[in-house]
Amino acid sequence: MSDRQDQSSKSGDTIVVPGWVIFIPAILLTLVLGYFAGQFLQKRMAATTVPTGDPSQPVVPVATPAVQVLDPSGAPGEVLASPGGDTAPDLYPTLPAGAAIPASNHYLIGQPAPEIVMARLDNGEKQPLSGLRGKTVMLNFWATWCPPCRYEMPFLMSVYERYKEQGLEILAIDAGEKVPPDQVLDRVTKYVEGMQLPFPVLLDENTYEVQRLYAVTGLPATFIIDTEGKVLNHHGGMFPDEASLDAFVQQALGAAAAQ
């Protein structure tokens, strides 16, 4: 690098300044500023990023006895606990176990439930919601990639077995999968078979239209529809434990018995 020459305003002599005297401090200053900028950005990202977990593994609450489950890819999963745990995953904060579910202000409550017609996963037949008139129907919007959905799924299974003889029906509406279209059916089928879901799962191309009709903006989302086809209640988000879901259902069945 050539040296820099400056003219002295007093003596007129030429002052020779080596180039490295300017170059090296500039490099050091750049490195220091870059380091502190990187530290700042790293802290900002850590504060705003929420881990999503591994979507290939079902999230099952801790309890006993153990049961065998499968992950959505169809590979055997490790032996995990049976439904009924009361501790939600730390990555997805929710209500404390046993807490009362806040009242919903969803605009559909008290209104006729929008009609939906979707294909059942088990037999491919179209299932109209109106075809279940006379039963208390729970619509649960979920997806295999949604950890809170998978966490509460055992609660749905348990509550369904407990109250199906009292007229409870559950329709689990798949809200869309994050895989190529030609892999959706296989992914959902393997998950449903692995979990041995006892209620119908609806999987169809109009799922986003159905979500629009019910103003679903997040997963999971649950609606209770009474025997006359009106929306009785709604809960947005994950039920923190089986007891809260049980109370949610009992309220609906009590209203049905009073009709």
Task: Write the CB contacts of 18 (distance below 8 Å, at least 6 apart in sequence).
Answer: 3, 4
Closest CA to 140 of 123, 160, 111: 160
Does the pLDDT of residue 189 top 80, yes or no? yes
pLDDT digits (tens, 9 = 90+) for 114-167: 999 999 999 999 999 999 999 999 999 999 999 999 999 999 999 999 999 999
DSSP label of 239:
-
Q: Residue 56 — very low, low, confident or very high, per pLDDT cuts 50/70/90?
A: very low
- Sheet architecture: strand order including 136-142: 201-202, 168-174, 136-142, 221-225, 231-236
Least confident of 4-13, 21-30, 159-168, 177-186: 4-13
pLDDT digits (tens, 9 = 90+) for 69-127: 333 333 333 222 333 333 444 434 455 665 667 789 999 999 999 999 999 999 999 99
* CATH dotted code for 66-258: 3.40.30.10
pLDDT at residue 139, rounded to an integer: 98
Total count of residues recorded for the chain:
259
Q: What is the mean pLDDT of the chain?
A: 77
R_g of the chain computed on alpha carbons: 29
Closest CA to 171 of 186, 156, 190: 156
Q: CA 222, CA 238: separation in Å to the nearest integer?
A: 9
Q: List b or e across 48-79, with b for residues whose CB sees 16 or more CB atoms inside 10 angstroms.
A: eeeeebebebbbbbebeeeeebbbbeeeebee
